[in-house]
Amino acid sequence: MLELATEHQGRARVALSAALASGPSHAYLFRGPRGSGKRAAARAFAAEILASAAEDPADTRRRAQLDPSPHPDFVWLAPRGAKHLVEEVREQVIRAAAYRPFEGGRRVFVIEAAEALRDESQNALLKTLEEPPSYVHLILLSSEPEVLLETIASRCQPVDFTPLSAEVLEAELASDDAPPAEIAAAARLAAGDLERARLLLSGPGRALRDAAQELVGATSGAPWQRLLKTATAAGEEVEAATREALEEEAKAGLKRTARDIADESKRAGRRRRTDILDLGLELCAAWLRDLAVVASGAEDVAFNRDRLDRLHSRAAGLDPAAARRGAEAAQETRRSLDLNVSEELALEALFFRLSRLLG
């Protein structure tokens, strides 16, 4: 199972196989971009750790691979909102790690999106990392490991995951109900992220691509509004889903106040809105990049392979250098949003700048 889960991550496969052969360490940090297979690898690695000290290894592997897993010695913690709640980390990881295994000889704790751990949670987790019980193994997954405290990262063995190639993504997406040209485009626009590629093949993903291209190609009006509305709708959807999940957990007995639920839900919605807006601007830059390569007669390297007709129509008579400057402007706008500038003003400024560049 581990070999299958790390099929496209040779370095990670070698590192994890060696760890199993010599005896796994107490803590690992799986670091790499979103969609690169960290979750699947962590589940397979955890299954092997549990199986290595089980009376029935095959059954242990089977239960550990289920999502969610019913194995009593396997804990998987993912943030419901924008951040991990401190009490969840304390109850489900720190305090739970003190209990001996319910079956077999090992316990495994996986913390997904470890970059979402608040400093308070990381500091609380530090003692468990420094003095773990011999039967405890922790696996932290992070797409932004630089956000973690150095005291946390330095106590974990790093396992690196690289972005998946476009060819690998195409193979993974082959079973999706989408035309081959659209799959090829999504694979290239996703920048090695399988989850993003699947988003781009969905209804909301297609709408986001349309909104990005409208912002680049419109000559009047306020086309940036469509991009903002698309991002806002995505944020509202996640906010509602997060609120529902947190309310269900509160009914089940987890300590959550109405204010906690509202705050976490809003943070999750804002995070999703920001992510979608950032992706929209990245798609703008990719469209402008494709206009430049098509205008230069190099359509074979275009990312938006399913929309070549539109690219040819828009690139006719276009100065490739102007399109490249437009792509740089879109990337600059992405970076400016990190500084908490007004999103609408930033997008409006980008539209007028592109209008001047592209005529």
pLDDT per residue as tens digits for the range 71-108: 999 999 988 766 787 888 999 999 999 999 999 899 99
Provide the percentage of residues in the chain whose pLDDT is more than 90: 73
Please report the pLDDT score of residue 81 as a whole number: 66
Please report the pLDDT score of residue 82 as a whole number: 65
Please report the pLDDT score of residue 257 as a whole number: 84
The predicted-structure confidence for 273-309, as pLDDT tens digits, reads as follows: 999 999 999 999 999 999 999 999 999 999 999 999 9
Higher local confidence (pLDDT), 307 or 245: 307
- For residue 305 the two structure tokens come to 């392979």
pLDDT tier for residue 260 given thresholds of 50, 70 and 90? confident
Say if residue 302 is exposed, middle or buried (CB neighbours under 10 Å; 0-12, 13-18, 19+).
Answer: buried
Q: Which fold has domain 2-160?
A: Rossmann fold (3.40.50)
Please report the pLDDT score of residue 295 as a whole number: 95
In angstroms, what CA-CA distances link 30 with 9, 122, 281?
A: 12, 16, 28
Contacts of 108 (CB under 8 A, 6+ apart): 46, 49, 50, 64, 73, 74, 75, 137, 138, 139
Mean pLDDT over all residues of the chain?
Answer: 92
Peptide bond into 33 cis (omega under 30): no
Please report the pLDDT score of residue 176 as a whole number: 79
CA–CA dist 299, 276 (Å, integer): 27
Task: Give the domain ranges of the chain.
Answer: 2-160, 202-358
Higher local confidence (pLDDT), 252 or 332: 332
CA–CA dist 108, 328 (Å, integer): 45
Provide the percentage of residues in the chain whose pLDDT is more than 70: 99
- For residue 72 the two structure tokens come to 């009593």
The predicted-structure confidence for 104-135, as pLDDT tens digits, reads as follows: 899 999 999 999 898 888 998 998 998 889 99
* Weakest mean pLDDT among 167-171, 176-180, 226-230, 246-250: 246-250
pLDDT of 348 strictly over 90: yes
pLDDT tier for residue 173 given thresholds of 50, 70 and 90? very high
